[in-house]
Structure 1
Amino acid sequence: MNRLDFEQGSDEWKAARCGSLGASALHEAVAKTKSGWGAARANRMAALIIERLTGIPQDTYQNAAMLHGIETEPEARDAYEFRTGADVELCGLVLHPAIDGTHASPDGLVGADGLVEIKCPQPAQHLSTLLGETIPDKYVKQMQWQMRCCERAWCDFVSYSPAFPEAMRLHIQRVKYDGALVSALETDVSAFLVEADKKLAELRKMYGAEEPPLVSHREMMRQLQEPRPC
């Protein structure tokens, strides 16, 4: 596992992930309809290409719900550690071991084989989770990509809402690595990135922009900080 241990949310972390497809946006990059690729895929590709052209991160908008999640996550992590007895190791950014230009930023590493993905949703969504609603597909894809990047066997999906009575605040559901799903995702992500590279090259040719240095996006990220094996 190759890690870039910048603090999540820091300027260094934002720069390292700029122009790279993250696990949290994976569902958009592989979005399909009955007739073909979905609009979310086109929007995600445009954002990725703009980041590679300008070096400016595009995912900067944060609404009240997103800020609530960021602010509540440490409390949720503490509750998870208390419930499970596990120590959660914070992690900045992890490169995909085989595909250049994509990464994961897990909420935490657990032991030698696990991860934790923490969601702090609005009460209505947490209520649905408590009553047995299945994990949304976008989060399943996110966790599977995280497990692939981090080479882990399982990920605990955590939903936490401090608005509920103490016994109901924390929900934990373990998700195991699904090799078949990951293989399909890798095929679609590779196609997405190849198409993005092609469109980027066409733009540079049409508008006279200089070609980028012959260095892979993985190497550019590594130049920010030497990754270390875990």
Structure 2
Amino acid sequence: MEQLSEEWFAARCGKVTASKICDVVAKTRSGWAASRINYMAQLLVERLTGMKEEGYTNAAMQWGVDTEPQARDAYMFMTDNDVVQVGFINHPIIEMSGASPDGLIADDGLVEIKCPNTATHINTFRTGKIDKKYMDQMYWQMACTEREWCDFVSFDPRLPEEYQLFVKRVEIDSGRVKELEEGVIQFNQELLVMIEELKQAAA
């Protein structure tokens, strides 16, 4: 299954995905964040219609899609790791959830590739820090694929060669994975309640 294909979109329709896991557990001081409410509404529509809600693509997002193959090649050259591309992988236990990692490495690894704007890449390269939302994305991918680590890659070919590629290995955090899994279970339960309420309203 090729990512971004019709088959891939159909496989993930209505399901919690790794790229949105941060929204599932997003909170403010007063309660759940608006991003969680909006994501729940999106998945409710997808589950009722069986159709993916239309998103948007800006220039930065398209740059990321277009540059990812080059980033993957650079990563493989630097690490000597083979990357096996995959489609959507369902969580082994939790229904209506899964992930689409950028690649599988050997028997227990993954790779997650980002091709951000240059300022963001430079900041990551300089500090070595990975945004929390990407950490959770990788933890969820590891949970879905039952793997132990993920190489985070940031790539920008517009820079001098020595600054183009950043790689940092992230080991699985079982405690955080458990929190995310509990969050997804609760999220899906709330969605089921909403669907049941709709059925009752239509009866």
The answer to whether structure 1 residue 30 and structure 2 residue 49 are counterparts is no
Alignment root-mean-square deviation, CA = 0.9
Q: Look up the equivalent residue of 2:182 and give its one-letter code.
A: T
Of 186-195 and 51-60, the range deviating more from structure 2: 51-60
Displacement after TM superposition at 1:206 (Å): 0.9
- Identify unmatched segments of 5+ residues in structure 1: 1-5, 209-230
TM-score scaled to structure 2, two decimals?
A: 0.98
Flag the 1:184–1:24 CA change in 2: closer, same or farther, 3 A. same
Secondary structure in structure 1 of the residue aligned to 2:154: strand
Question: Within 1, Cα distance between the matches of 2:143 and 2:11?
Answer: 19
- Which residue does 1:61 correspond to in 2? 56
Unaligned stretches of 5+ residues in structure 2: none
How many percent of aligned residue pairs carry the same amino acid? 50
Amino acid at match of 1:135: I
For 1:1-230, list aligned pairs within 5 A. 6-58=1-53, 60-208=55-203
Which residue type is aligned with residue 151 of structure 1?
E
Which moved further from structure 2: 41-50 or 124-133? 124-133
User: What amino acid does structure 2 have at the position aligned with 1:81?
Assistant: M
The total of aligned residue pairs comes to 203
| Structure-1-length-normalised TM-score | 0.86
User: Structure 1: how far apart are the matches of 2:5 and 2:200?
Assistant: 34
Corresponding letter in the other structure for 2:119: A
Q: Secondary structure at the match of 1:41?
A: helix
Q: Distance in 1 between matches of 2:138 and 2:158?
A: 25
Q: Which amino acid aligns with 1:73?
A: E
Question: After the TM superposition, which segments of 4 or more aligned residues of structure 1 sit over 4 Å from their partners?
Answer: none
